[in-house]
Structures are given as C-alpha cells and as structure tokens.
Amino acid sequence: MKSKFPAYLLVLSLALNAGVLGTLAYRYFTAPPLAPHTCPFASDQQHLYDLLGLSSEQRAALDPMAVSFHANLRELQASAGEQRDALLTLMEQEHLDIRGIREAHTELNARQAKVQNAVMGHLLEVKRVLTPAQQKVFFQLVRQTLNLTN
C-alpha cells in the first residue's frame, strides 16, 4: 500500500504557490501608479489652499497663475523629453558621433534649465501673493514635496 503523503504534499505545495502568485499578481495589477512631483498649487490641490488659509483674493490671483504655469511647464517638460530621446538615439548608434552627443547633451541641459527657471519664477510669483506666515507653510510644503525635509 503506497503512502499518499507525497501526493498531499504536492497538492499543498501547488496550492501555496498558486496563492503566493495570485497575491503577487493582485498587488502588481492593483498598485497605484507612482505619482510625479506635484505642485502644491495645482488647481486640483484645493485642500492646500485651505491649509494655507488663503483669502478669496489670493485664490483669485493664484488660480490663473497656476493654470498658465502648468501649461508652460508641460510644454517645457515635453521639449526636454524629446531632447532626452534624441540624446539616447545618438548614444545607441553603432558609430558614435561624440560631437553630436555633446551638443545634444548641452541642449538637454539648456532645456532642463528652462524648466528649473520656470519653476523658480513660479515659486517667487506665488510668494508675492502670500503673507509671511503663509510663505513659511508654503515653503515647508515645497520641501516636503521635494523630499527635502529632515
């Protein structure tokens, strides 16, 4: 009479493996996408307006500013992305054009500098609308957004 122990062990092992794989697949497919850096004054971040205690006049000043900034930022980021792709295309070629790579890299740096300048300008525009107490909270939020808090 053969023992059925190996068969039971095999079934148990298969069930455990299926459970683990099912859990991993569930977590993989239901995981939220990674969020990009968000601007504390994006129009969909209304709770931050409340957190800062903005007046209606301040909100009226910041809303159009945020809309135009984000439209401009999307264009600048798309331009930098195109240049990044061009740089990678040059780098993946079999016969490297070192001069072309350097020029593409310089252009990418220039486009990224435009993005950073636009962000800096926007932060300074926002600062002008805020009171000193609001400015303190705002820059703490920016630090948190950029993971610069200690």
Q: Residue ranges per domain, the chain?
A: 1-31, 32-145
Whether the CB-CB separation of 39 and 66 falls below 8 Å is answered with: yes
- What band does 34 get if pLDDT is binned at 50, 70 and 90? very low
What are the tens digits of pLDDT across the range 50-108? 788 888 899 899 889 988 999 999 999 999 999 999 999 999 999 989 999 999 999 99
What pTM does this model have? 0.65
Distance CA 66, CA 57 (A): 14
139 contact partners, CB below 8 Å, separation of at least 6? none
CATH fold of the domain at 32-145: Four Helix Bundle (Hemerythrin (Met), subunit A) (1.20.120)
